[in-house]
Homo-oligomer: A and B are copies of this chain.
Amino acid sequence: MAKLIAERADVIPQLAEIFRTYGFEGASLARITEGTKLGKGSIYHFFPGGKEEMAAAVLSEIDGWFSVNAFLPLREEALAAQGISRMFDEVQRYFLSGRKVCLVGVFALGNERDRFGAAVKAYFKEWVEALTAALVRNGRDAASATDLAEEVVAGIQGGLVLARALNQPKVFVRMLDRLKLRCA
């Protein structure tokens, strides 16, 4: 019988899903081996540092995804307005229109912030700064751009919380629409 050989990179999205669902402490190795269809041996082969290394790898991948798909357009799109619009589209797509939660937000609220505080902080800082810069390029003064960028990033996170609490993904979509409008 043929045997599937996994690669480290293949496992990370599965780990992300598990951490998102159960949090860091709730993501037991039993759940991890079940979710990845890999034995403990394989998991520890890829991540000798255990759960801590797994979570760090996941955070790093998430940050990479946002850097490329959301922050880069904000910074480099020739027309700032188009970069902002692109960011909103990618965010809506990434969070499955409110059916998927933000792992970095989950870690920010929990005590995981102590272990991964630097990564969590960097992710949000980068987001706010890139959006601020785009808003400035779009004609706003620095003060109101900072203010609005903060409001948008917080609003996105809050939209995810409320959408999930009420079990109404559309709450998140409505939130995005309002914020989009305010950036115009």
Contacts of A104 in B (CB 8 A): 165
> Which secondary structure dominates where chain A touches chain B?
helix
Report the stretch among A41-49, A81-89, A171-179 that lies at the interface.
Answer: A171-179
- Interface of chain A residues 128 through 165 with chain B (CB within 8 A): 147, 150-151, 153-162, 164-165
Number of copies: 2
A79 CB → nearest B CB, Å: 27
Judging by beta carbons under 8 Å apart, are B121 and A150 in contact? no
Evaluate contact between A165 and B120: CB separation under 8 angstroms: yes
Complexed CA–CA distance, A157 and B158 (Å): 5
A173, chain B: closest CB distance, angstroms: 11
Q: Is the CB of A166 within 8 A of B121?
A: yes
Given contacts A23-B111, A178-B147, contact A162 B157 (CB under 8 A): yes
> Can you report 12 A-B residue pairs in the complex whose CB atoms are below 8 A from each other?
A22-B25, A22-B111, A23-B111, A26-B110, A109-B109, A121-B167, A150-B162, A151-B155, A151-B175, A153-B158, A154-B162, A156-B158
